[in-house]
Structure 1
Amino acid sequence: MLIAHLSDPHVRPEGVLYQGVVDSNAQFATAIAQVNALDPRPDLLLLTGDLVDHGQGEEYATLSRMLADLDVPLLAIPGNHDEREAFRRAFSGQPWLPAEGPIHYAVGDRGAVRIVALDVTLPGLHHGAVSDEGAAWLDRVLTEEPLRPTIVMMHQPPFATGIPYMDPYDCREGHRFAAVIARHPQVERILCGHVHRVMQMRFGGTVLCTAPSTTTAIALQLRADARPASYIEPPAMLLHHWRVGRGLVSHVVPIGTFPGPYPFA
């Protein structure tokens, strides 16, 4: 099973630049085209939040037009820049979408790997949290298929990155989440967005990784007094490849056109 993973496109209304600097819509369109062009084509695309920038209906209308070009089945969760009910309206035709409450769901009919989505966003706030109710829901859903390889996706990562201007906006109650994950060894990966960078760590007895943004990269600054900064770096996505007898391998794939291929390896 091949799973493409994009995050944080921050789609804006037509003709509006992200932060007045970046054409986030054009970059997301390029990412969609690259997903469509992958060979073999992915079985699934995951979008781990911040699909739009201000949660506006006009942004979601633009997003819907862009996703109409996608040739791969899609699963998505909201981020802190999304507005939950506008997100729900934008994806109203999707069978995985819950009718109310947090956007929690589980999908097991797309291939060998089961996908469990945990909505840790808090409406109106930029940090997230794993509530008692969310942890109980996750524990119950993971208990249903204890032998099925599983990915859990969420937006804000539940750990301190060391980047001082990002950590106040992490997912809180990470210990509660880790305790649930540790009870379910079938969880192959925890996938997050939010930080606009690739990061990996061991968490709850499994591997957690964050996806880059298709728009900008948040600067990797580890000094406690560092000021917020971003760069327009080459965008990228993650590609997760599951194979029987080996498990899940995750790749970082730059988005764009580059010199090559050359006849050597």
Structure 2
Amino acid sequence: MTLIAHMTDLHLRPRGLACYRVSDTNMFAERAIRCLKSLDPQPDALVITGDLTDRSDPREYAVARELLSRLDMPVFLLPGNHDSTSGMRREMSSFPGISETGDGKICYTAKIGDVQLIALDSHLPGSPKGELGPWQLAWLDSRLKETQVPTLLALHHPPALSGIVHMDNMGLVDADALAEVIAPHAHVERIICGHLHRPIIASFAGKVMTLAPSTGHQVVLDLTENGPALFNFEPPAYFLHYHSEATGVVSHMAYVEAFPGPHHFFADEGVVWPGDEA
């Protein structure tokens, strides 16, 4: 079996600075990494689908390098709208795939256990929207035709709409072109992404899209037409993508918070469950 952890939207800041003045994203990220290190079994890899940093500041990338160095597993990165392709390539070049050339984009493939990861770069300079672009879409098409290995497609901007209008307005501008590329390929078992700071499951091009919440603050769930852009501190979480021959890809959401338990399912003394009568 293969187990892949998926985190997103860490929004790391220079040490001592909060994100949006009130979100201690570095502390939240520390807790998420500590939680990940406590898992048994340990994941085969961690994928972070963008917004590793908040402003693509070299000091933020330095925090990221120190934090991720604590993990005894490969870490696969790709840029979000708050990062930059050039900044990530310069500051995180020691991480797998980052230094590969891709017509200006960070895109690469990696084998993780019995699963193929294809990482895509949807960063669009000067815009919160995302774009893959013709070169990267052609590259993706050729990669998908090379093998029938079960594949996870990773990018920052979700290609499917969520109903949260202000976030959908800064979505993936060439989502229709992406759909044309991936629709014929049954071995694309999951699209994993971030950007919306909420756990969202949707269908896209006949595939399952799994959008992970942030390890820090979350976007307020507002499905009204003109809802404002607001965030809150709902519990941070991440996804674990489990794959086996018997199951295919199964996605579990894991919370960073510590909760009471675990407890055994014992009935009160003297209580007999229906069907268990002597």
- Place the TM-score, normalised by the shorter chain, in its bin: over 0.9
Q: Aligned equivalents of 1:253 and 1:244: distance in 2?
A: 22
* 1:103 and 2:110 aligned: no
Q: Aligned equivalents of 1:91 and 1:55: distance in 2?
A: 11
- Contact preservation (8 Å) 1:130, 1:176: no
1:209 equivalent in structure 2: 210
- Contact preservation (8 Å) 1:56, 1:83: no
2:184 equivalent in structure 1: 183
How far 1:90 moved relative to its partner? 2.2
1:77 equivalent in structure 2: 78
* 1:129 and 2:120 aligned: no
1:155 equivalent in structure 2: 156
Q: Max radius of gyration: which structure? A: 2
Aligned length: 263
Q: Aligned equivalents of 2:96 and 2:190: distance in 1?
A: 23
Q: Aligned equivalents of 1:171 and 1:222: distance in 2?
A: 19
- Contact preservation (8 Å) 1:80, 1:122: yes
Residue type at the aligned position of 1:232: F
Q: Identity over the aligned pairs, expressed in percent?
A: 40
Matches within 5 A, 1:44-63: 44-63=45-64
Q: Secondary structure at the match of 2:121?
A: coil
Q: Secondary structure at the match of 1:250?
A: strand
Q: Aligned equivalents of 2:96 and 2:43: distance in 1?
A: 19
Q: Aligned equivalents of 1:99 and 1:61: distance in 2?
A: 23
Q: Secondary structure at the match of 1:158?
A: coil
Listed one character per residue, the Cα deviations across residues 109-165 of structure 1 (whole Å, up to 9, x for unaligned) are x210000011111122110123221211110011111x2000000001112221121
**Gaps spanning 5+ residues in structure 2: where?**
267-278
**Gaps spanning 5+ residues in structure 1: where?**
none
Q: Aligned equivalents of 1:175 and 1:85: distance in 2?
A: 26
TM-score normalized by structure 2? 0.92
Higher mean alpha-carbon deviation, 155-164 vs 227-236, is at 155-164
TM-score normalized by structure 1? 0.96
- Contact preservation (8 Å) 1:7, 1:213: yes
Q: Aligned equivalents of 2:256 and 2:240: distance in 1?
A: 12
Q: Aligned equivalents of 1:218 and 1:125: distance in 2?
A: 19
Higher mean alpha-carbon deviation, 126-135 vs 237-246, is at 126-135
Which of 106, 115, 118 aligns to 1:116? It is 118
Q: Aligned equivalents of 1:119 and 1:92: distance in 2?
A: 15
1:9 equivalent in structure 2: 10
Q: Aligned equivalents of 1:64 and 1:90: distance in 2?
A: 9
Q: Aligned equivalents of 1:217 and 1:73: distance in 2?
A: 26
Higher mean alpha-carbon deviation, 49-58 vs 92-101, is at 92-101
1:139 equivalent in structure 2: 141
